[in-house]
Amino acid sequence: LPLDTAQIPLQIDFPSGVHLGSKSDSIPVVLSFIASKPTSFATTVDFIVDDGNRFSLPVHGLADNSILSVWPFLSLRRYSIQFGEGHGITCVDLGLRSPPAGSSTAGLTNIDNIRPASEIASAAANTLRFLASLNMIEVSGHAFPTDLVASNGEPILRLVEFLSGSTVFKSELHALSLVPSKSDTTPAVLNLYEKLLSYLRAHGAVLTVKAEHLGPLSAMVSALPIGSWERQTAEKLAPSVSRQAWFNVLSQIIKIFLLERVTTKSVCEAIGCSTFPTCIPSNLYSSHETLLLAWLTHYRKDRSVPVTNFENDLRDGTVLGNLLFAHLPYLKQLSNLDESPDDDQERMTSNAQKIISSMEEAGLDYQVSASFIVSPNPRDMLLLVLYLFTVLPGYLPRSTVEFTGAVHENITKTVTLKNPFASEVIYDVRFDGCADFHASSKSIMLSGRGSELFQIAFCGRFARNDSAVLRLIPSRQLRTRPPSMLSQPVVFSLVSSVSESLTPQATLTTRSNLYEATTFVMELRNTLDKDCTFSIDCSHQLAKIIPNRHTAKMAPAVDKPSS
């Protein structure tokens, strides 16, 4: 056994003894562990015989709860689950579980565990949508997992290397590239998938998947005993098995590489608090998922009532709407959400539609339907919340750019954009708010480690204060998936202060005698692009008195004779 029993609390038991005799060619070995906190490990157990020979058995252990792992089990019992307070139910010891005599250890799978094709297709589409919204993968839901099988899992391998920050499969990919084009690549591909599964399990993935389940049909069939019922039905079951296997791999990649980025520190930074949020322990959700629930509670109208699940507590749309409005206050339609829909289907649907249109307006590229929110699937809702937790902090303005001038004065400000990464970044330019702000281009590209000057122009049409938000959104039109880094939006707050123009557009000169009414014609030109009704306001200003060179001398006053 491993020496570090604190980190790897593994125990071994030989219920029938440790001796192999002439009467028995096998003995059962029971491996077990109990962990009081979330943990995962990958190790080996060595069996040493009398002659000194050593036989190693790879062992992976995991103790954690996550809706991404247990949802296939919960979906079968969805309507029998009850949320309550107190201590969770402990596991029941089912005793020694051995395969039936004569059964194949390389069996395809248990038919009862194969999920319906429509259920897996829907769940896979939501998972792919989540990864695509973060620019990590671009696989069509209609072609899933055919594209992955045809490419030997290359998009998934690159995704794992990107998220882990290491070239995990370098040697296996090199060995696969050395296989002649006309030779059978199945052994090399299966070796690659074995490395993928082992690596994911070592980092905490819950995967009851075999390498042949990820490969083509020929790999699946060749792993089954000749003449067995599994081999006879392999061609029929293979598409469902492959779909479910790849879906489970994607779910566990999200869990161990993205969900685990939700920490107490990141949640505190997101909500701007100095103390860690209070999390309610759960035997259903992992610690990272309960942190997301605590983050959602911060945006609930009544914070004394915590958000405890990703289903009933979010279906009325109030929490999601308040969350979006806190980060995107310029979306005015979120300010009039129905805060008390009282389980009214029509009112909840209205809230959901406002949330969807607001996300589209803000450029949050995560397409959902109203039924997705009103009748949520906890697993899919978790992915939406995780997406919002990842991207929304980037939508808060980084700085404020001020514009001060007179009416119709063209004002230009320049900001410097820097790319700290080695690969290029393409941003889409979007404005929200006053239409008097604009830029010369709709997109901007920053080369690796480069910088660009970006000009923002403003021409005020009215003597008032205006505001807008400039959002530079990373473009999804990238050359590779995944990108070499996760770029965040760049957001600026734009404010203007426009005063009345003190410079006359023209000077009109007229002459008249004192107290003598004079009429003159003034031409008024509309400089705006639409019909307008102008009001006329006259005010007295000091004028320069131009002396007349031919000023007549004033005659002396003559007294009138008295009568």
What's the gap between Cα 69 and its chain centre? 19
Closest residue by Cα to residue 321 from 311, 332, 312, 310: 332
DSSP letters of 209-241? --HHHHS-HHHHHHTSPTT-HHHHHHHHHHHHH
Q: Rounded to whole angstroms, how far apart are CA atoms 483 and 499?
A: 46
Question: Final residue of a domain: which of 499, 522, 552?
Answer: 499
Q: What share of the chain is helix, strand, coil (3-state, %, to 5)?
A: 35, 15, 50
- Quick check: 365 and 476 in contact, CB under 8 A? yes
Q: Are residues 225 and 287 in the same domain?
A: no
Which pLDDT value is given to residue 494? 95
* Helices 318-327 & 345-362 angle (0-180, nearest 10): 20
Q: Are residues 226 and 278 in the same domain?
A: no
DSSP letters of 300-325? SSSTTS----SSTTTTTSHHHHHHHH
437 part of a folded domain: yes
431 part of a folded domain: yes
Closest residue by Cα to residue 152 from 88, 211, 108, 93: 211
Structure tokens at 89: 């139910």
Q: Are residues 278 and 366 in the same domain?
A: yes
Phi, psi angle pair for 276, to nearest 5°: -65, 140
Q: Are residues 146 and 230 in the same domain?
A: yes
363 part of a folded domain: yes
Q: What is the pLDDT along the chain (563 residues), one digit of tens a residue?
A: 776 777 778 888 888 888 877 777 788 899 888 877 777 777 888 888 888 788 888 887 877 789 998 887 777 776 666 666 666 655 555 555 555 544 444 444 444 555 566 778 888 999 999 998 888 887 777 788 989 999 899 999 999 999 998 888 988 888 888 877 756 788 889 999 999 998 998 888 888 889 999 988 888 877 776 666 666 677 777 888 899 999 999 999 999 999 999 999 999 988 888 777 667 677 788 989 999 999 999 999 888 888 999 999 999 999 999 999 999 988 888 888 998 888 899 999 999 999 999 999 888 889 899 999 999 999 999 999 999 999 999 888 989 999 999 888 899 999 999 888 777 888 999 998 899 999 988 999 988 888 999 999 999 988 889 999 999 988 765 555 565 566 788 899 999 999 876 667 778 888 888 888 888 888 888 877 788 888 887 777 666 666 665 554 544 544 444 43
Query: Who's near 42: CB < 8 A, 6+ residues apart?
Result: 58, 59, 60, 61, 198, 201, 202
Q: Rounded to whole angstroms, how far apart are CA atoms 157 and 149?
A: 12
Q: Are residues 411 and 340 in the same domain?
A: no
- Which single residue is written with the structure tokens 């930074």? 269
Q: Are residues 224 and 184 in the same domain?
A: yes
Q: Are residues 198 and 141 in the same domain?
A: yes
Q: Rounded to whole angstroms, how far apart are CA atoms 175 and 536?
A: 83
Q: Rounded to whole angstroms, how far apart are CA atoms 5 and 147?
A: 43
Please name the amino acid found at residue 542.
L
DSSP character at residue 276: P
DSSP letters of 94-140? -----PPTT--TT----GGGPPPHHHHHHHHHHHHHHHHHTTS----
Q: How far apart are the first and last CA of the chain?
A: 142
How many separate domains does the chain show? 3
User: At 467, which helix (H) or strand (E)?
Assistant: strand 465-474
Q: Are residues 212 and 123 in the same domain?
A: yes
User: Strand 490-499 relative to strand 399-406: parallel, antiparallel, unpaired?
Assistant: parallel
- Quick check: 28 and 96 in contact, CB under 8 A? yes
Q: Are residues 291 and 329 in the same domain?
A: yes
94 part of a folded domain: no
10 part of a folded domain: no
SS3 string of 479-538?
CCCCCCCCCCCEEEEEEEEEECCCCCCCCCCCCCCCCCCCCCCCCCCCCCCCCCCCCCCC
Q: Are residues 326 and 376 in the same domain?
A: yes
200 part of a folded domain: yes
Structure tokens at 287: 């610690």
| Structural domain that includes position 162 | 114-261
Query: If DSSP codes are grouped into helix, strand and coil, which group holds residue 407?
Result: coil
**pTM of the full structure:** 0.78
Burial of residue 306, with CB atoms counted within 10 A of its CB: 0-12 exposed, 13-18 middle, 19 or more buried: middle
Query: If DSSP codes are grouped into helix, strand and coil, which group holds residue 269?
Result: helix
Q: Rounded to whole angstroms, how far apart are CA atoms 472 and 428?
A: 5
Q: Rounded to whole angstroms, how far apart are CA atoms 191 and 104?
A: 21
DSSP character at residue 15: T
Question: Final residue of a domain: which of 205, 231, 261?
Answer: 261
Burial of residue 279, with CB atoms counted within 10 A of its CB: 0-12 exposed, 13-18 middle, 19 or more buried: buried
Query: Who's near 403: CB < 8 A, 6+ residues apart?
Result: 411, 413, 458, 460, 494, 495, 496, 497
Closest residue by Cα to residue 64 from 23, 85, 33: 33
In sign, the C-alpha dihedral spanning 320, 324, 326, 331 is negative
**Long-range pairs, 438-444, Cβ under 8 A, ≥24:** 439/470, 443/475, 444/417, 444/472
Q: Rounded to whole angstroms, how far apart are CA atoms 490 and 120?
A: 36
Q: Are residues 322 and 343 in the same domain?
A: yes
Burial of residue 500, with CB atoms counted within 10 A of its CB: 0-12 exposed, 13-18 middle, 19 or more buried: exposed
- Quick check: 427 and 446 in contact, CB under 8 A? yes
CATH of the domain at 306: 1.10.418.10
Q: Are residues 124 and 248 in the same domain?
A: yes
530 part of a folded domain: no
163 part of a folded domain: yes
Vertex 43 angle, CA 42 and 47, to 5°: 150
Query: Who's near 290: CB < 8 A, 6+ residues apart?
Result: 279, 280, 281, 282
User: Strand 443-446 relative to strand 451-459: parallel, antiparallel, unpaired?
Assistant: unpaired
In sign, the C-alpha dihedral spanning 523, 527, 531, 535 is negative
Question: Final residue of a domain: which of 448, 464, 499?
Answer: 499
